[in-house]
Structure 1
Amino acid sequence: MLPINFFAIITAALVPLITGSIWYHPKVFGTVWMRVAGVNKDKMKNSNMGLIFIFSIFLAFLIGMVLQFLTIHQFGALGMIGGDENLAKPSYTAFMKDYRLAYRSFGHGALHAFMTGLFFVFPLFGINAIFERKSWKYVFLNAGYWTITITIMGGIICGWYAVDGFNLATPK
């Protein structure tokens, strides 16, 4: 079984809080977001921010779990054999020997995560906004935030696997 790098995923799960504190800051897009989202300062003050942050990190952890499969090709190779390396044919072992660390960089992970943002996250926000009668400004603000955020998360997750000492699918 390919190992899951929980340290990379936990680190990446902190990224939404960091990028969100910048993106949604009043001097960046925060004031505009509050207006288009229909949020006011009173509503924000009456919330349990500790609970919101903890739940946000948990949800970002789930996003990170999915991003590893979207950014690391070797997980796809494992899926092709049904998930059990012990039942794999010699061709799988040869593939993993040749490509064990191939395409494992921050840039590669960021590229795949960016494409996920553009072709998955943006349409999700767009569909919801159409039915919720939200503006395109609302869509671009939120989808833009998430596309940038998961781009960084994907880069961290994919790049971390290339770090020596955490070699994914070491050949037998």
Structure 2
Amino acid sequence: MNMNPLALVLSAFITIFVGFIWYNPKVFGTIWMRESNLTQEQLKTGSMLKIFGLTYIFSLMITLTLMSLTVHQSGAIGMVGGPPLIDSAKPSFKAFMTDYGQAYRTFKHGVLHGFMSGLFFAFPIIGVNGLFERKSWRYIFIHAGYWIVTLTLMGGIICAYA
């Protein structure tokens, strides 16, 4: 299984791209600011380089996790000890990868797993945090929706192109 690092690097930008649209005042930005008790002036403070830089680093971490969730062949590679040990794997592994190395490597399949990751992992985490922070359901659904859409797109790109 060949990996395309460029696809992983580019898929990490999805969080920023979707965020620009999702949190735009004409989409959910105004509601999000009201539910978060933030003003336009408060949002202009802080180091944008730090915020977007760390966002991108965190997004790279997410892409690596999504790769293991969307690309099923990652599990087979892990069973032989990871990429450094592929060359010393038994012939049965090589035969398996020849037969199934590209199975389920489609955008559609990645979208399915990305969506499931958003719905069954990101949404509950955001929900728990929001409940303890006494945030509204609107706040929870805005953030959960963002992550569901983002992880769905990232999963599709990673599965099809990484």
TM-score range, shorter chain: over 0.9
The alignment covers a number of residue pairs equal to: 160
Q: Which residue of 2 aligns with 1:66?
A: 65
Gaps of 5+ in 1: 162-172
Task: Return the alpha-carbon distance in structure 2 between the equivalents of residues 118 and 91 of structure 1.
Answer: 36
Q: Which residue of 2 aligns with 1:52?
A: 51
Which piece of structure 1 moves more, 62-71 or 48-57?
48-57
- Kindly state the Cα deviation for residue 47 of structure 1 after the two structures are TM-superposed: 2.0
Q: Which residue of 2 aligns with 1:41?
A: 40
Q: Which residue of 2 aligns with 1:90?
A: 91
- Kindly state the Cα deviation for residue 4 of structure 1 after the two structures are TM-superposed: 4.4
- Kindly state the Cα deviation for residue 16 of structure 1 after the two structures are TM-superposed: 1.1
Superposed CA RMSD? 1.4
Which piece of structure 1 moves more, 67-76 or 36-45?
36-45
- Kindly state the Cα deviation for residue 158 of structure 1 after the two structures are TM-superposed: 1.1
Task: List structure 1 segments (4+ residues) > 6 angstroms apart after TM superposition.
Answer: none
Q: Which residue of 2 aligns with 1:75?
A: 74
Normalising by structure 1, we get a TM-score of 0.87
Task: Return the alpha-carbon distance in structure 1 between the equivalents of residues 39 and 4 of structure 2.
Answer: 39
**SS of aligned partner of 2:52:** helix
- Kindly state the Cα deviation for residue 3 of structure 1 after the two structures are TM-superposed: 5.3
Alignment of structure 1 residues 23-172 onto 2, 5 Å? 23-83=22-82, 84-161=85-162
Q: Which residue of 2 aligns with 1:8?
A: 7
Task: Return the alpha-carbon distance in structure 2 between the equivalents of residues 109 and 144 of structure 1.
Answer: 18
**SS of aligned partner of 1:119:** helix
Normalising by structure 2, we get a TM-score of 0.92
Task: Return the alpha-carbon distance in structure 2 between the equivalents of residues 80 and 123 of structure 1.
Answer: 30
CA-to-partner distance for each residue in 1:62-112, whole Å, 9 max, x for gaps?
111111111101101112233222343332211101011111111111111
Gaps of 5+ in 2: none
Task: Return the alpha-carbon distance in structure 2 between the equivalents of residues 120 and 41 of structure 1.
Answer: 30
